[in-house]
A and B are shown apart, each in its own frame.
Chain A
Amino acid sequence: MEFLTTFINGLSLGGVYALIALGYTMVYGIAKMLNFAHGDIIMVGGYTIMVFFNMTGLPLAAAGVAVVFCIVTGVLIEKLAYKPLRGASPLAVLITAIGVSYLLESLAQIIFGSDHKMVILNHWGTLEIGAFSVSYNTIVTLSSAIAIMIALTLFVNRTKVGKAMLAVSEDRDAASLMGISVNNIITITFAIGSALAAVAGAFYILKTPDVSTTMGSMPGIKAFTAAVIGGIGSIPGAMLGGLLLGIIETACLAVPALAPFAIAIEFGLLIIILLVKPTGILGKKKREKV
Chain B
Amino acid sequence: MNGFKTYFTNFKKTFKVKNFIMYFIVAGAMILFGGLGAAGALKRSFLVLLEQMGYGIIVALALSLVVGFLGELSLGHAAFMSIGAFLGCYFQNSVFPALSSSSPFVALLLAMLIGGAAAGAFGFIIGLPALRLKGDYLAIVTLAFGEIVKVLFQNIPVFGGALGIQNKYRYNVNSLYIIIFAVLLLTLIIVQNLIRSKHGRAVTAIRDNEIAAKSTGVNVSYYKIAVFVISAVIAGVGGVLFAGTQNTFKPAKFDYNYSINILVMVVLGGMGNINGTIISAAIITFINVRLGTVLTGNLAVLKDIFYALILIALVIYNNAPALKKFRSKYNLKNGAAAVWNFLVRAFTKKKAEPDPAREVEFGADWSRIPTKVEMDELLSTDFIPETDKPDRGEGGEGK
Chain A interface residues toward B at CB < 8 A: 28, 33-34, 81, 84-92, 94-96, 98-100, 102-103, 105-107, 109-110, 113-114, 172-173, 182, 217, 221, 224-225, 228, 260-261, 263-264, 267-268, 270-271, 274-275, 278, 288, 290
Contacts and interface: CB of A to CB of B under 8 A. Distances in A.
A239 B320 CA distance: 34
A227 to B, nearest CB: 10
Contact of A260 (B75, B133, B151, B263): B151
Nearest to A33: B136
A288 B132 CA distance: 13
A114 B376 CA distance: 41
Given A96-B311, A103-B312, 16 more contacts: A28-B136, A85-B320, A87-B396, A87-B397, A91-B271, A92-B319, A95-B73, A95-B311, A95-B315, A106-B301, A224-B140, A225-B144, A260-B151, A264-B152, A271-B145, A288-B211
A94 B263 CA distance: 12
B398 interface: yes
B372 A91 contact: yes
A271 B398 contact: no
A271 B299 contact: no
Given A94-B135, A95-B263, A225-B144, A87 B395 contact: yes
Contacts of B73: 91, 94-95
Contacts of B320: 84-85, 88
Nearest to B143: A221
Given A221-B147, A268-B148, A34 B140 contact: yes
Nearest to B142: A271
Contact of A86 (B71, B309, B321, B323): B321
A217 to B, nearest CB: 7
A278 B129 CA distance: 10
Nearest to A259: B155
Contact of B312 (A28, A100, A113, A274): A100
A96 B72 CA distance: 15
Nearest to B311: A99
Given A107-B305, A270-B144, A274-B141, A86 B396 contact: yes
Given A88-B320, A173-B397, A224-B140, A110 B315 contact: no
A271 B151 CA distance: 15
A121 B198 CA distance: 62
A84 B397 contact: no
B260 interface: yes
A71 to B, nearest CB: 21
Contacts of B155: 260-261
Interface in B373-399: 376, 395-399
Interface of B: 67, 71-73, 75, 128-129, 132-133, 135-137, 139-141, 143-145, 147-148, 151-152, 154-155, 211-212, 256, 260, 263-264, 267, 271, 298-299, 301-302, 304-305, 307-309, 311-312, 315-316, 318-323, 372, 376, 395-399
A109 B72 CA distance: 30
B307 A102 contact: yes
B301 A109 contact: yes
A271 B144 contact: yes
Q: Shortest 9 CB-CB distances between A and B: which pairs?
A: A267-B144, A103-B308, A92-B319, A99-B311, A106-B304, A34-B136, A88-B319, A99-B312, A102-B308
Contacts of A275: 128-129, 132
Contact of A34 (B139, B145, B151, B264): B139
Given A87-B321, A87-B397, A270-B141, A103 B136 contact: no
A278 B148 CA distance: 19
B135 A90 contact: yes
A94 B143 CA distance: 13
Given A95-B263, A102-B260, A278-B133, A84 B316 contact: yes
Contacts of B298: 109-110, 113-114
A202 to B, nearest CB: 24
18 contacts: A28-B136, A84-B323, A85-B316, A85-B319, A94-B135, A94-B139, A107-B305, A110-B301, A114-B298, A172-B398, A173-B397, A182-B398, A221-B144, A225-B140, A267-B148, A271-B141, A274-B137, A278-B132
Given A103-B308, A260-B151, A96 B316 contact: yes
Contacts of B397: 87, 173
A110 B147 contact: no
